[in-house]
Amino acid sequence: MVKVKFFAALRERLQCAELDIDSQPSDSVAEIRHRLLQQHPSWRRELLDNDVLCAKNFTFVDLQAAVNPGDELAFFPPVTGG
């Protein structure tokens, strides 16, 4: 199981802040994202947006990063603090 969080505009558009999803030991971020889209086909446009960033356990990662059960993934738009 992997915890997935969404923030800001992405959270609002998906109407989801957080969910748990099944994972396999050899999963990548891309595979988790693919599984999310299988469960929520309507998220396709927002989640596949090239601007969406991903973090694993509080660190930025790319789509090839390995994801293990118990990890926390987050997807969010480009940041705008400061």
DSSP 8-state assignment for residue 3 = E
Minimum CB separation of residue 72 from another protein in Å reads: 8
**How many degrees, rounded to 5, is the angle at CA 80 between CA 42 and CA 3?**
45
Q: Which of 3, 1, 14, 2 is nearest to 76 (CA)?
A: 14
Q: Considering beta carbons, is residue 57 or 68 the nearer one to another protein? A: 57
What secondary structure does DSSP assign to 10-26, as a single string? HHHHHT-SEEEE---TT
Using the rule CB under 8 A, which residue among 39, 48, 60, 62 binds another protein?
60
Tell whether residue 66 is a contact of another protein (CB under 8 A): no
Q: Which of residues 39-58 bind another protein (CB under 8 A)?
A: 51, 55, 58
Minimum CB separation of residue 38 from another protein in Å reads: 25
Using the rule CB under 8 A, which residue among 28, 35, 52, 76 binds another protein?
76
